[in-house]
Amino acid sequence: MRALLQRVLEASVEVDGSLVGQIGPGLLILLGVHQDDTLREVQYVADKCLDLRIFEDTDGKMNRSVRDLSGSVLVVSQFTLYGDCRKGRRPSFIDAAPPALSQPLYKAFVERLAASGLRTAQGVFGAQMKVRLLNDGPVTVMVEKDASDP
């Protein structure tokens, strides 16, 4: 599982011209699900996203998490995070989980974040989406957990 985190001042997602999710300060999380992922990876990556200290404290050091700030989280499904560009000029998405596997894991990820008590918004799984963000910093980091990791 891969989660690309962007620290944002605001972010939103539209589907067919309609606003479906919007947040203020917090995290925009683009989530990719691998074909071997299970709930174990969901739990690890979701908890890491909630507790990763990438927000500044009063001294300007990255010492606070989105949970510490009571920030918001916007989650957008992003199978292209598993695009393999090593060969040729067209990415291969063979490692990305098919929708029958990835949709329930995406839903479980969103539910785990929401259970933290933070305001949690989401895109529409599998839809063509327009994502807007105002990156803060900019700060962008990748959180990964492979099914083979201990």
- CATH number for 40: 3.50.80.10
The tokens for 57 are: 């404290």
* pLDDT tens digits along 110-147: 999 999 999 999 999 999 999 999 999 999 999 998 76
- Provide, rounded to the nearest whole percent, the portion of the chain with pLDDT above 70: 99
Side-chain-facing half-sphere of 117: CA atoms under 13 Å? 4
Q: What is the pTM of this model?
A: 0.95
Q: How far apart are CA 28 and CA 71, in angstroms?
A: 11
On whether residue 34 sits in a domain, the answer given is: yes
On whether residue 149 sits in a domain, the answer given is: no
On whether residue 38 sits in a domain, the answer given is: yes
Q: For 30-39, what is the mean pLDDT?
A: 97
On whether residue 20 sits in a domain, the answer given is: yes
- What is the reported pLDDT for 14? 98
Q: For 18-33, what is the mean pLDDT?
A: 98
- Determine whether 116 is exposed, middle or buried from the number of CB atoms within 10 Å of its CB (0-12, 13-18, 19+): middle
Q: How many domains does the chain have?
A: 1
On whether residue 148 sits in a domain, the answer given is: no
> Which position has the token pair 């050091």?
61
On whether residue 54 sits in a domain, the answer given is: yes
pLDDT at 44 over 80: yes
Angle subtended at Cα 46 by Cα 113 and Cα 24, rounded to the nearest 5 degrees: 50
Q: For 57-85, what is the mean pLDDT?
A: 97
Residues that are catalytic: 78-80
On whether residue 150 sits in a domain, the answer given is: no
Mean pLDDT of the chain: 96
- Name the residue range of residue 22's domain: 2-143
Q: How far apart are CA 54 and CA 139, in angstroms?
A: 8
